[in-house]
A and B are shown apart, each in its own frame.
Chain A
Amino acid sequence: MKINQRDIASGVFFIVLAAIGLWLNTEHTMGSARRMGPGYMPWLVFWLQIALGVGVVLVGTASGPEKMDRWKADEIGTFIGGIVAGFAAWWLLHSLGGYFAIGYNSLGCGILVGFLVLSIAPGWRFLGMIMVSMAIFALLLEQFGFFAALIGLIVASCLPEREHTSKPLGVLLCTLFLLALCWFVFIYELDIRVNLWPTG
């Protein structure tokens, strides 16, 4: 057998996504071919996607041999742990109220915690920490201001890179430069509406 694991995984992904879509689509009225309701096009699209997914799987049984990168034990662990921790943090913090009840802050904290856990495994270090840095940006921006959010984003995104952790001075200069540049471009020139400093 010349199994292409990547193709099979892609095909399964298409099918699963389409199946979820079809299930969600049951709440929309189909209408008729003449007067299509909101559910008609999704129904067509998701069935087409299932057919394509099956096609990709069938092709995948012969287009290999190709294997996916094998996940190490710690990678599997932090992957599952990240999902669990992320959802738990989202749900717990949301019930706390205060800062966490504003906008999407609790969702952001969930994302932050989830990817932080994920980044414990060395293999997920970059993926996890880049997402963490963006989540920090989103969490800080509206309540703690433009500069705090940028500092958080830049420092967090520099953490997984070994060349940075050995030379913290470079990170500091990079941060200062980007703060000045972003202030000039986005605040002075483009004048986007955002708080610069923490609000009370």
Chain B
Amino acid sequence: METLIGNLAHGFGVAISFTNLGAALLGALIGTAIGVLPGIGPVATISLLLPITFGMSATTAIIMLAGIFYGAQYGGSTTAILLNLPGEVSSVVTTLEGYKMARNGRAGAALTTAALGSFFAGTVATVLVAASGPLLTQVALSFGPADYFSLMLLGLIIASVLAQGSIVKAIGMVVVGVALGLVGTDVQTGQQRFTFGIPELSDGIGFVPVAMGMFGIAEIVLNLERPEARSVLSTKVGSLYLTREEFKRSIAPVLRGTVVGSVLGILPGGGASLAAFGSYMMERKLSRYRHQFGNGAIEGVAGPESANNAAAQTSFIPLLTLGIPSNAVMALMVGALIIQGIQPGPRMVEAQPDLFWGLIASMWVGNLMLLVINLPMIGMWVSLLKVPYKYMYPSILVFCSIGVYSLNNNVFDVYMTILFSVFGYLCNKLRMEAAPLLIGFVLGPMMEEHLRRAMLLSRGDAMVFLQRPISATLLGIGAAALLAMALPSLRKGKNAAMAE
């Protein structure tokens, strides 16, 4: 305990240096702006800004990039609530209730709940990262490839179980995502797979073209086709103050969301979006006001928003302790660290105490800044959104196009974005969810690597996944989740059949 406090004090010493405070503020501001602006997310922004960080010290660079990431969680909720357009995958869930609240004239209350919940969750999760980081480093050493594989498989199963609509279709989309992740150079043999001789594909299909196309551009086309459902509202934000009842109703979901988010954030492949989905499902089942869900229940904002921010913080745990990126943003962090000459992994706590503890302390400082940036200054961010959609969509297109291009300074990425925009449009028409695809896409390559390593170690015996206790437990949870979700839908199908 004493060492923890000592370490945190050391971390705060690092975090409140002038440079690092500035880096956290800059990251938080940029993060909020890109979170608010639909169609440009933290992944694109962080990749855009990566070259600029080369000149900074490793700690400052990571503090700024981390600020963008969790700043986008705050900003993304603003867009989700006011525009029904998730700034990020993790705020998809917020649109469900938050946008309804905005339509009911309670946009201000939804924003306040989201910000306060996020701040509370961020604080708790930061302490959790500080406390569990060094411990998990020890546990991490007992994880074998089979355990990693099962962990990721569990993440994928949960992601599809929690997706909207048909579970089979969601799993199908996960698998399509994994298949897309196969494109590129095979890590072990160096053979080119499914690249059609295109050099740009040898590093795999870019995450950003897929995400931007399927979430950003396809959404623009769909919005334009349904003029009445257009996202930009003339809604007023209204009072930011919560009524006593709203405040009371938010407390339990925030607490539950923090727990769910902190736990799911740790899972590789879990992360913020999974946490938000998880919390939403939980509130819909547990809340006393569940009949209001779908019509603007504040629980559906408070829970998921706390969960995604908690998860955003705890998703640093696998990165800092195992060196495994739990999502695309963390993958970029790995890139940033390696460029700085630091190999992320279990030894980072010992070797880079400034970075490890400074980053943790700066997370809390950044969350505090974001509360100030977001609540009293909400009017400024909202004015960004008052632009009519007919002016908004060319702007989104412009930002996406330049952003995609500047990833590799290659127009090929723009053409890939066009391809995935059309694909995203078709998926929407066929009611196929894009989110599970994205998660499968990120995790697929890592799963393949661990599968191959596990099978090599077990000499081709697939039973290894059931013989290792950690792996078997994880697979058991996954199977249980699938069964549990299959039953109600079976029942629903039966009921519908009987009603006819």
Q: Contact residues of A with B, CB < 8 Å?
A: 6-7, 9-11, 13-14, 17-18, 21, 24, 28-29, 32-38, 40-42, 45-46, 48-49, 52-53, 55-56, 59, 62-63, 68-69, 103-104, 107-108, 111, 126-127, 130-131, 133-135, 137-139, 141-142, 150, 153-154, 157-158, 160-161, 163-164, 170, 174, 178, 181-182, 186, 190-194
Contact = CB atoms under 8 A, between A and B. Distances in A.
Interface string B180-196: 00100010110101100
Contact of A194 (B48, B393, B409, B422): B409
B422 A161 contact: no
B220 interface: yes
Nearest to A128: B221
Given A52-B168, A130-B221, A154-B394, A38 B405 contact: no
A14 B176 CA distance: 8
Contact of B193 (A28, A135, A170): A28
B168 A134 contact: no
Contacts of A194: 405-406, 409
B409 to A, nearest CB: 6
Task: Give chain B's interface secondary structure class.
Answer: helix
B398 A163 contact: no
Contacts of A193: 406, 409
Contacts of B186: 28, 38
A134 B402 contact: no
Given A6-B431, A138-B414, A130 B220 contact: yes
Nearest to B409: A193
B401 interface: yes
A76 to B, nearest CB: 15
20 contacts: A6-B430, A10-B169, A14-B176, A21-B179, A42-B182, A45-B179, A45-B444, A56-B168, A59-B166, A63-B166, A104-B412, A111-B415, A131-B421, A139-B411, A153-B397, A178-B395, A182-B399, A186-B406, A192-B406, A194-B406
Given A28-B193, A111-B415, A48 B175 contact: yes
A53 B430 CA distance: 13
Contact of B452 (A17, A41, A135, A174): A41
Contacts of B169: 7, 10, 56
A42 to B, nearest CB: 5
Interface string B390-425: 110111011101100110010110110110011001
Contacts of A46: 179
A188 B296 CA distance: 42
A10 B172 contact: yes
Interface in B137-176: 166, 168-169, 171-172, 175-176
B52 interface: yes
Interface string B1-25: 0000000000000000000000000
A6 B425 CA distance: 14
A126 B414 CA distance: 18
Given A69-B429, A160-B224, A137 B401 contact: yes
B480 interface: no
A153 B169 CA distance: 35
B460 interface: yes
A9 B430 contact: yes
Contacts of B220: 130
B451 interface: yes
Contacts of B246: none
Contacts of B394: 153-154, 157-158, 174, 178
Nearest to B185: A38
Nearest to A13: B430
A28 B397 CA distance: 38
Nearest to A160: B224
B225 interface: yes
B456 A14 contact: no
A31 to B, nearest CB: 9
B107 interface: no
Contacts of B224: 126, 130, 160-161
A157 B397 contact: yes
B85 interface: no
Nearest to A9: B430
A150 B179 contact: no
A59 B168 contact: yes
Contacts of B418: 111, 131, 134-135
B406 A52 contact: no
A161 B166 contact: no
B80 interface: no
Interface string B418-441: 100110010001111000000000
